[in-house]
Amino acid sequence: MNTDIGIRFKSARGRGGVVEDIVMERIHMSGIPLEAVSFHLFYAGKEGSEGYDEQTYEVTEETPVIRNITLRDLTCVGAQTALLINGLPELPLEGLTVENFIAETANGVVARHADRLTLRGLRLQVATEPEIRLHACTNTDIR
């Protein structure tokens, strides 16, 4: 309620840390101005607005890691984007599973730099086609 993004995971190069082995289930969202679900590893500057640096850097202890996240039985009515993934070129978001996501949004899934992305049972009603846009994603499973 009263949030710009429904479910948000954010970090940036230089912050380090590991976020892993999380399961979230049975979440309903409505009236979200931006993303229903956001994974943003380029978060920098005021409100994360400094943009994306597509250059690949050396992986160090200061490289953030997000892996093995499961989101199940989600609904969203009214958001700009159903699912946004901005992983890092040098260390993509790894092992994200999204199951049974029903969304009425302007944009569907927009993902860059993700490995082992699994999308099952998505029912997307979007204003902008295509429903799913992938860039530099590997080992994807969409059913």
CA-based nearest residue to 71, from 11, 2, 8: 8
Over residues 4-53, the pLDDT tens digits come to: 999 999 999 999 999 999 999 999 999 999 999 999 998 664 444 556 67
How much is the pTM?
0.92
Q: Backbone phi, then psi, for 59, in 5-degree steps?
A: -80, 125
98 bridge partner residues: 71, 119
Over residues 88-115, the pLDDT tens digits come to: 999 999 999 999 999 999 999 999 999 9
Structure confidence at residue 20 (pLDDT):
98
CA-based nearest residue to 32, from 4, 55, 58: 4
Structure confidence at residue 54 (pLDDT):
78
